């Protein structure tokens, strides 16, 4: 079991380390998903999280998984085992949850697709560490204490890596990326609703390239 956990962790890290920023997308129309994903990949953001917050989300994951070369599409806002199964069936290569439940942990334990579980407190991080997770989503990042809070966790919870998400923008991304326990950040600013609605893929590629160029 330990070997399988290590393999899933390595798989997750190989995806998260592709870029400093993972786009977090709310897709209202599955038809726009392929163009949006291609624009993000063209800008250097290959790992893409599509949140399960709209009726179009699963179809969007399916389309990106099938049609966008170079994309690593994940499903976010996974709340239970049913959500997990549907997301994996749609073609998700990684799963993201805002927190954890016994159902999500059971699905993660039995499946081959890696989970990026959400945590917001030291106790939640410790609980996930005991469950075999060393890489987590820090959510909601800004509201839960921001970069200063994560920096404070780096010593007592050494060995834990985070992808902070929630309230992250181009302005504060470097505050997180400069921390030793941050592998990447998640953000929605690279795909503004107005550009997606207008089909301005060139504009999104430009934002993606800017995000991909962020360094600690």
Q: Give the residue numbers marked as catalytic.
A: 49, 137
Rounded Cα gap, residues 192 and 207, in angstroms: 9
User: Which residues lie below 8 Å from residue 86, measured CB to CB, with a gap of 6+?
Assistant: 58
Contacts of 53-56 with CB under 8 Å at 24 or more apart are 53/26, 53/77, 54/26, 54/27, 54/28, 56/27, 56/28, 56/29, 56/30
Three-state secondary-structure class, residue 43: coil
Instruction: Give, in order, the Cα–Cα distances in Å from 11 to each of 5, 75, 135, 208.
Output: 10, 15, 11, 23
DSSP conformation class of 115: E
**What tokens appear for 156 in the block?**
């007592």
Q: Provide the token pair at 161.
A: 């890596």
Sheet with 118-119: list strands edge to edge: 118-119, 135-138, 161-164
Length reported for the chain:
216
């Amino acid at each position: 079991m330990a070997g399988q956990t290590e393999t899933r962790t390595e798989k997750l890290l190989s995806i998260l380390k592709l870029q400093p920023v993972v786009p977090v997308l709310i897709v209202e129309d599955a038809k726009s998903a392929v163009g949006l994903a291609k624009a993000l990949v063209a800008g250097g953001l290959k790992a893409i999280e599509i949140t399960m917050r709209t009726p179009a989300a699963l179809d969007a994951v399916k389309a990106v998984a099938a049609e966008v070369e170079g994309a690593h599409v994940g499903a976010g806002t996974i709340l239970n085992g049913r959500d997990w199964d549907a997301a994996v069936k749609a073609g998700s290569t990684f799963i993201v949850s805002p927190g954890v439940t016994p159902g999500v942990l059971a699905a993660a334990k039995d499946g081959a697709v890696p989970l990026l579980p959400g945590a917001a407190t030291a106790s939640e991080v410790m609980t996930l560490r005991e469950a075999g997770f060393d890489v987590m989503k820090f959510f909601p990042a800004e509201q839960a204490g921001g970069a200063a809070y994560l920096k404070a966790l780096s010593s007592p919870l050494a060995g834990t890596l985070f992808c902070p998400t929630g309230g992250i923008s181009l302005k504060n991304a470097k505050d997180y990326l400069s921390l030793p326990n941050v592998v990447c950040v998640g953000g929605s600013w690279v795909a503004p609703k107005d550009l997606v609605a207008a089909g301005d893929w060139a504009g999104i590629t430009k934002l993606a390239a800017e995000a991909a160029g962020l360094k600690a």
